[in-house]
């Protein structure tokens, strides 16, 4: 089946620094990818929709200047958390739909970000 990978799987950074998380579709092309964050004991919250070759679409309440998304190729989307703060500590998950079936989303394993 389709595989989506994320790198790194976990990262610890100091407050004020920036962190980049990669999401790759390994055996298929994805013109769209989704970025979610998940707080402990809470659901996945969609942050933004990443579109290859164009600007990402952010959900209401998500700071686009803080969470920079770049979808430079059909297999790679990156999420950069800029000037990270402890409240940004969370589990970030990406997903990508395959082919024309947007509901067949494949999820990456997630990236655990801890900001100290």
- The residue ranges that bind other proteins (CB under 8 A) are 4, 32, 34, 36, 41-46, 49, 59, 93, 95, 97, 102-110
Q: For other proteins, give the closer residue by CB, 45 or 76.
A: 45
CB 79, min distance to other proteins, A: 16
Cis check: omega of the bond before 41, within 30 degrees of 0: no
Distance CA 46, CA 30 (A): 17
CB 86, min distance to other proteins, A: 23
The pair of three-digit structure tokens given for residue 50, joined into one six-digit string:
């990443």
The answer for residues whose C-beta is within 8 angstroms of residue 85's C-beta and 6 or more apart is 15, 16, 115
CB 43, min distance to other proteins, A: 4
């Amino acid at each position: 089946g389709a595989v989506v990978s994320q790198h790194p799987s976990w990262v610890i950074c100091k407050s004020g620094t920036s962190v980049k998380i990669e999401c790759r579709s390994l055996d298929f092309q994805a013109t769209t990818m989704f970025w979610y964050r998940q707080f402990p004991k809470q659901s996945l919250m969609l942050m933004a929709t990443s579109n290859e070759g164009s600007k990402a679409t952010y959900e209401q309440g998500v700071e686009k200047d803080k969470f920079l998304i770049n979808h430079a190729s059909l297999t790679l989307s990156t999420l950069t958390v800029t000037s990270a703060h402890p409240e940004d500590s969370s589990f970030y998950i990406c997903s990508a739909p395959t082919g024309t079936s947007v509901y067949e989303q494949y999820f990456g394993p997630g990236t655990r970000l801890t900001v100290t």
